[in-house]
Amino acid sequence: MKKSRRGQKVLFLIVFVFMPLMVFMFGCGGGAVPPIHNDDLTILAQAVPAEGGDVRINGGAWGDSKNVTVTNGTQVTLEARTSNGYTFDGWYDGSVKVSSNTTYQFIAAANKTYKANFSQNVTQCTITAQASPAEGGDVRINGGAWGDNKTVTVNSGTQVTLEAAKNEGYTFAGWYEGMTKVSGANPYAFNANANRTLRAFFVTKAPDPSLRTRVEPEDLVYIGAFLTPEPLPWAPDAETWEWGGMGMTYNPNGDAESPSDGFPGSIFGAGHDVWNLISEFDIPTPVLSRRKNINDLPLSRFLQPFTDIRGNLFPWVEEMPRMDIELFPSGPSRTPGQLVACWGVHLQDEHEYPTHMVFNSDLNNPNPQGPWFVEGLNPYNGNDYLFSIPEDWADEYVQGLRFATGRYRDGGWSGFGPTIAAINPWRNGNLPLARTVLPSVILLKYSDYYEGEPDPWHEMDGYAHSDEWSGGVWVRAGSKEAVVFVGTKGIGNTWYGNPDGPCMDCENRGWWSDAFEGWFLFYDPADLAKVAQGTLQPWEPQPYAHLNIDEHLFYITSTQQKYHVGACCYDSENHLLYVFESGRGEEERTLVHVWRVQTE
């Protein structure tokens, strides 16, 4: 039987049109039918510039560039966060800003790169340049007008150039920020990133070394003495001056309200030598008492009471301590703020003990920092006296090391004469970490017994094992100059025993001589410069003069009396040398003697 043509068309439609549809709807062979099509899209987020901030996608990890792969039609969340000093500008698709918010959401429909644009904050910095002292010269900024005080305001990141011009009779010593020397360059350029005040520090021009002359003993004129402050009646022994005077330093800015009597400033000094607490006191006009009667002498007054400046830095300093202090040399601001101290003991055999520290001049908050070792010294020759080195000399010969430190211990353990090592805890700007070894330049150092019998043997002319050098100062007065040690000199025969003669099993044992005298011992800085330059060895400089000062001392009762004087300090502006004489009981009040160094 023949099929109609109409039936054939119906069958065709069923097979070729409806069958695929049925397969799609009901599956085939029991398996799932894959989707017709699904696009995978890549979304990239970038921080521009990279240092401006970070980005993340869908709560993932932060970074300066992140990407994810998502399905077409998926919601995507972009987030941005700023770095310090930057501001978020918005999310960008190419050059089109799509959102100003740090969080941006959209439906993924294509591969995309979005940029989180950041801009650096434009901050302004005030830069001030000052001449210090004003009469020493002028300054200018970025080629502007000259003057002793100049200020500009610039955008952060801008280069600033400072220049200094010295006046006649002055030398430019460098740019200082606070107490720290930041550069010796002139001009000095830097990028501004904060408000800054920098001082061009000028110093009185030192005479040509070939024109300098030595300070001679006859240049020192004795003026008189004054008493240390009266302790409170109920003060413990630690807060008295008995046996005091082991350390002292002059403060040119102390006692600002003092009368104009020619004795300005103040003194930081160490009290009883068991505890060595530090106080600050004013300087009354000294009186010359020909009767050597302490009742004739004026009494100084406390400016700051006795304070323990060590904190917990030197727990091993107990029996027979040695110490000294020195104010940071007056900087461009002329406002001293910190002091250096050194510590030791009579028997100190180990190298494991550091010796130097720094503390604040505000004794209510001494804030002790350190301690540190000193390169090139043994435990006995670096921790009993401290004094300042003139800045121009230090810059020329010892790489800016502004402090002279040393010690003389009897018996030759420290050396057969005094020692000087130049140091500076602030050499690199900031104070070093605790127990750091401070670099040094050795300027004076004789042979010693510390490691046994020396060979070869180098000693100071006139050396005696019984000598005791308790302080030192660098004296400049006009064109005259000297390094002066203060102490007690053994005279005649020297022995180990007691005052009567050699002995080992006896009381009052130590190094003795036929007699002892209070001395000033003079060295020539020109010789120390030659050591720094390598043309002399550290043991070659010798003292060129001495001055016996016993005629001015109050408490010398016998020819064999030891410890005539203690520490010393120097007022370089007024050419005044201050020296402690220790009192040893109620009838012997610790006092300060004063000499003036003549400039002509």
Question: Which of residues 173 and 493 earns the better pLDDT score?
Answer: 493
**Tens-place pLDDT, residues 281-295:** 999 999 999 999 999
> pTM for this one?
0.71
The C-alpha atoms of residue 196 and residue 111 are separated, in whole angstroms, by 50
The domain defined by 209-597 folds into Tachylectin-2; Chain A (2.115.10)
Binning pLDDT at 50, 70 and 90, where does residue 209 land? low
**Least confident among 292-296, 329-333, 366-370, 461-465:** 329-333
What's the pLDDT score for residue 427?
A: 83
Confidence of residue 337 (pLDDT cuts 50, 70, 90): confident
Render the burial of 288-313: b for 16+ CB within 10 Å, e for the rest.
ebeeeebeebeebeebbbbbebbeeb
| Cis peptide upstream of residue 305 (ω within 30 degrees of 0) | no
Q: Is 286 left (phi over 0), alpha (psi -120 to 50) or beta?
A: beta
SS3 call for 64: coil
Q: Is the pLDDT of residue 229 over 80?
A: yes
State the pLDDT at residue 208: 63
| Count of CB atoms situated within 10 Å of the CB of 549 | 21
For tokens 């040399």, name the residue: 329
Q: Which amino acid is at 539?
A: W
11-63 per-position pLDDT tens digit = 444 444 444 444 444 444 444 444 444 579 999 999 999 999 999 999 999 99
pLDDT digits (tens, 9 = 90+) for 139-157: 999 999 999 999 999 998 8
Q: Give mean pLDDT, residues 457-463.
A: 96
Confidence label for 207 from pLDDT (cuts 50, 70 and 90): low
DSSP string, 75-119: EEEEEEEEPTTEEEEEEEETTEEEESSSEEEEE--S-EEEEEEEE
* Domain definitions of the chain by residue range: 41-120, 124-204, 209-597
pLDDT band at 335 (very low <50, low <70, confident <90, very high): very low
Q: Do domains 124-204 and 209-597 have the same CATH topology?
A: no
Return d(Cα 56, Cα 95) in angstroms, integer. 20
Give the pLDDT of residue 201: 87
> According to the CATH classification, is domain 124-204 in 2.60.40?
yes
State the average pLDDT over residues 200-205: 81
In which band, very low, low, confident or very high, does the pLDDT at 357 lie, cut at 50, 70 and 90? very high
Residues whose CB falls within 8 Å of the CB of residue 213, separated by 6 or more in sequence, listed in order:
479, 480, 481
What local confidence, expressed as pLDDT, does residue 3 receive?
Answer: 43
Residue 206's pLDDT band (boundaries 50, 70, 90)? low
The predicted pLDDT at position 266 comes to: 95
Q: What are phi and psi of 133, to 5 degrees?
A: -70, 165
Mean local confidence (pLDDT), 302-325 = 94
Lowest-pLDDT choice from 204-218, 224-238, 341-355, 433-447:
204-218
Give phi and psi for 451, each to the nearest 5.
Answer: -110, 30
Is the pLDDT at 94 greater than 90? The verdict is yes
Average pLDDT taken over every residue of the chain: 89
pLDDT reported for residue 253 = 86
Question: What pLDDT, in 10s, does the model give residues 55-64?
Answer: 999 999 999 9
CATH number of 41-120: 2.60.40
Over its C-alpha atoms, the chain yields an Rg (Å, rounded) of: 39
Q: Identity (one letter) of the amino acid at 582?
A: S
> What one-letter code names the amino acid at 52?
G
- What DSSP string describes 242-287? TT--S-EEEETTS-TT--SSS--SEEEEE-STTT--EEEEE-PPPB
* 188 in Cβ contact with 162 (< 8 Å): yes
At 433-454, the pLDDT tens digits run 999 999 999 999 999 998 888 8
Residue 396 pLDDT > 60: yes
| pLDDT score of 490 more than 80 | yes
Q: Is the pLDDT of residue 198 over 80?
A: yes
Residue 98 CB-half CA count within 13 A: 15
Percent of the chain exceeding pLDDT 90 equals 73
Nearest to 325 by CA among 270, 272, 375, 366: 270
pLDDT attached to residue 30:
43
Question: Does 488 have pLDDT greater than 60?
Answer: yes
Distance CA(575)–CA(481), nearest Å, equals 11
Identify the pLDDT of residue 19: 47
Predicted local distance difference test score (pLDDT) of residue 351: 67
Sheet of 180-183, strand order? 149-155, 124-132, 196-204, 170-177, 180-183
- pLDDT the model gives residue 480: 94
- Per-residue model confidence as pLDDT tens digits over 546-600: 999 999 999 999 999 999 999 999 999 999 999 999 998 767 889 999 999 998 7
Give the pairing type, strands 196-204 and 468-477.
unpaired
Q: What are the strands, taking DSSP E only, across 434-560?
A: 437-438, 441-444, 468-477, 480-498, 501-502, 510-523, 545-548
Query: Is the predicted pLDDT of residue 179 greater than 90, yes or no?
Result: no
Report whether pLDDT(1) > 70: no
